[in-house]
């Protein structure tokens, strides 16, 4: 069966996997807290716990969240203008794999739509800035950032939103590529898409969901996708 679209996960798929220091992350987030009647270490602990809560909700109930929701969950007021430390903390982990541009160009040359579906609390503008910096934004036919929709992967609704964004309708003619066996592989196949696994990420045990899926194919690099799709997976 011909393939109409290849949709990619972001972290650990289009970027290299990095282990993240979540203590340092929540300390950076705490720089944006305003009107707190306690010190930054208390804010850090509240934000760290809130992060576990919102990502637990994503894992167990496929409920999405935004950066603002994270502060609300922590019971803290914040000023979005003060998120620079948080943004700067993450920035080194956002670089697009250099093979992505030629891979997306090859897929598009074959008439295949290219999309992104990312479980993220960040605004679209941040993601688009990273893609633009790395020269790949113009190659995207559509992208869904779950901060903009109610659901996260592995909800079939998240995959349907991504297909809608790239302008395709038949999940059986779509391939999803990701580094997580629950969110990406199980989720995509459960939604009727084909699933390709990129197995280079060290997923923390608490981030693994109820089922690990079996991929239709395993690749060592996203650069393998154009040939894989041409050969019908
Ligand atoms: Mg990922």
pLDDT in tens, 8-62: 999 999 999 999 999 999 999 999 999 888 899 999 999 999 999 999 999 999 9
Q: From the CA of 50, how far away is ligand 1's center (Å)? A: 21
HEC per residue, 54-69: HHHHHHHHCECCCHHH
Q: Which residues of the chain have pLDDT under 70?
A: none
Q: From the CA of 43, how far away is ligand 1's center (Å)? A: 27
Q: From the CA of 178, how far away is ligand 1's center (Å)? A: 6
Q: From the CA of 19, how far away is ligand 1's center (Å)? A: 12
Q: From the CA of 229, how far away is ligand 1's center (Å)? A: 21
pLDDT in tens, 121-134: 999 999 999 999 99
Q: From the CA of 36, how far away is ligand 1's center (Å)? A: 34
Q: From the CA of 152, how far away is ligand 1's center (Å)? A: 12
Q: From the CA of 38, how far away is ligand 1's center (Å)? A: 35
Question: In this structure, what token pair is assigned to residue 14?
Answer: 């289009």
Ligand 1 ion: Cβ-proximal residues, 5 Å cutoff: 9, 11-12, 179
**For residue 128, what pLDDT is reported?**
98
Q: Can you say whether residue 200 is alpha, beta or left, with left for phi > 0 and alpha for psi between -120 and 50 degrees? A: alpha
225, 103 in Cβ contact below 8 A? yes
Is this model's pTM higher than 0.95 or not? yes
**For residue 107, what pLDDT is reported?**
98
**For residue 173, what pLDDT is reported?**
98
Q: For residues 9 and 144, what is the distance between their CA atoms, to the nearest angstrom? A: 10
Largest CA distance in the chain: 61
Across the strands, what pairs with 143? 116
**For residue 120, what pLDDT is reported?**
98
Q: From the CA of 7, how far away is ligand 1's center (Å)? A: 12
Q: From the CA of 117, how far away is ligand 1's center (Å)? A: 10
Collapsed DSSP state (helix, strand, coil) of residue 212: coil
Cis amide linkage into residue 8, ω under 30° from 0: no
Dihedral angle over CA of 113, 118, 123, 126, nearest 10: -70
Q: For residues 166 and 140, what is the distance between their CA atoms, to the nearest angstrom? A: 8
111, 138 in Cβ contact below 8 A? no
Question: Phi, psi (5° rounding) for residue 183?
Answer: -55, -45
Question: How many Å from the N-terminal Cα to the C-terminal Cα in the chain?
Answer: 10
Q: From the CA of 77, how far away is ligand 1's center (Å)? A: 29
């Amino acid at each position: 069966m011909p393939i109409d679209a290849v949709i990619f996960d972001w972290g650990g798929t289009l970027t290299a996997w990095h282990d993240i220091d979540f203590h340092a992350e929540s300390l950076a987030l705490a720089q944006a807290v305003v009107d707190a009647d306690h010190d930054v270490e208390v804010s850090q602990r509240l934000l760290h716990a809130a992060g576990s809560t919102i990502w637990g909700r994503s894992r167990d109930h496929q409920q999405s969240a935004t950066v603002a929701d994270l502060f609300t969950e922590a019971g803290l007021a914040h000023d979005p203008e003060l998120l620079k430390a948080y943004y700067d903390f993450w920035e080194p982990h956002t670089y697009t794999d250099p093979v992505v541009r030629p891979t997306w160009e090859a897929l598009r040359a074959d008439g295949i739509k290219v999309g992104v579906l990312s479980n993220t609390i960040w605004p679209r503008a941040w993601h688009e800035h990273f893609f633009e910096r790395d020269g790949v934004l113009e190659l995207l036919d559509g992208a869904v950032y779950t901060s903009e929709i109610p659901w996260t992967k592995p909800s079939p609704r998240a995959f349907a939103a991504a297909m809608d964004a790239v302008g395709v309708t038949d999940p059986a003619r779509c391939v999803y590529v990701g580094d997580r066996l629950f969110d990406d592989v199980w989720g995509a196949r459960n939604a009727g898409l084909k699933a390709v696994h990129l197995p280079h990420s060290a997923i923390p045990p608490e981030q693994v969901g109820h089922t690990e899926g079996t991929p239709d194919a395993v690749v060592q690099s996203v650069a393998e996708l154009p040939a894989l799709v041409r050969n019908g997976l």
